[in-house]
Structure 1
Amino acid sequence: MSFDSFITFLPTRDLVQTARFYEDVLKLELALDQTRCRIYRVAKGGFLGFCLKDEVKQPEGVILTLVTEDVDHWQALLAEHDVPIETAPVFNPEYQIYQMFLRDPNGYLIEVQRFEDPRWNAQP
């Protein structure tokens, strides 16, 4: 028996600003609006949820990695929305990935990457 899906929940102090970023900029589909939590479909069976909290610790050590074949497209789209890129797209030979980094409105680090490693196969 296996699991049907995966959801990561993260806290936010500003659900409206978070929703604008993930819906309008990253174009993620809103899967469920629970008023104080919003859950986004990232990929088939993969979800990301943000829940409104009064106190949120500074996010450290968390990287949200979005895998795509077209990292450069996302860099251009983010530039259109004036989203600062922390690290421009670059090939990382250690992990055989092409990646860039940015931060969401909550300060969470987002990595947009493409696997170049022929051993990677995300499809079952």
Structure 2
Amino acid sequence: MTRPDLAQQVTFLYAEDTEASWRFYEKTLELPLVQDQGTCRIYAAAPGDRAFLGVCRARAPRASDNPRVVGGVVFTFVTPDVEGWHEFLKARGVALPPKPEYSETYRVTHFFVTDPAGYTIEFQRFEREDWPEV
């Protein structure tokens, strides 16, 4: 049997203060709003209508602030212009590390920010030939 195709991908994040999170993704990151479902908004995370980020009203408080525990999330935007995103967010007053860093272990240039709901958001560029070109 042939595996059926997957056409699109959506990651859902949950926030207690959805208004603050929606402002962050709409105004600070300027992600295009694709659909407003009332308690959940879905944004285009990349061109081509293939990857999306949903930000929804949480039904309970977060279990942990550590994104690397079971159930934790790090949402990564892959971009060829990590430095440009760093400057863009710096100009908007987002708390940032001093500059993007290179990870020898993963061979990526990246930096992390925290959204209003406490999620870790990463901006990353792969520095390796075995990753699909953006």
- TM-score, normalised to structure 1's length? 0.91
Alignment match, 2:109: 98
Give the strand-richer structure, 1 or 2: 1
User: Structure 2, unaligned stretches of length 5 or more?
Assistant: 68-72
* Structure 1 position 88, deviation (Å): 3.0
Alignment match, 2:15: 12
Change (3 A) 1:76 1:96: same
- Which residue of the other structure, out of 49, 52, 75, is the alignment partner of 2:57? 52
Size of the alignment, in residue pairs? 123
* Structure 1 position 86, deviation (Å): 4.2
Describe the SS at the equivalent of 2:100. Answer: strand
Task: Give me the CA root mean square deviation.
Answer: 1.5
Q: Residues 87 and 100 of structure 1 are in contact (CA less than 8 Å); yes or no, is this contact kept in structure 2?
A: no
Describe the SS at the equivalent of 1:79. Answer: helix
- Per-residue CA deviation, residues 65-102 of structure 1 (Å, 9 max, x unaligned), is 11001111111111111100147301111111100111
Alignment match, 1:40: 43
- Per-residue CA deviation, residues 33-72 of structure 1 (Å, 9 max, x unaligned), is 0010000110131111011124221443211111001111
- Per-residue CA deviation, residues 5-25 of structure 1 (Å, 9 max, x unaligned), is 111112111111111110111
Matched, 1:74 2:85: yes
User: Structure 1, unaligned stretches of length 5 or more?
Assistant: none
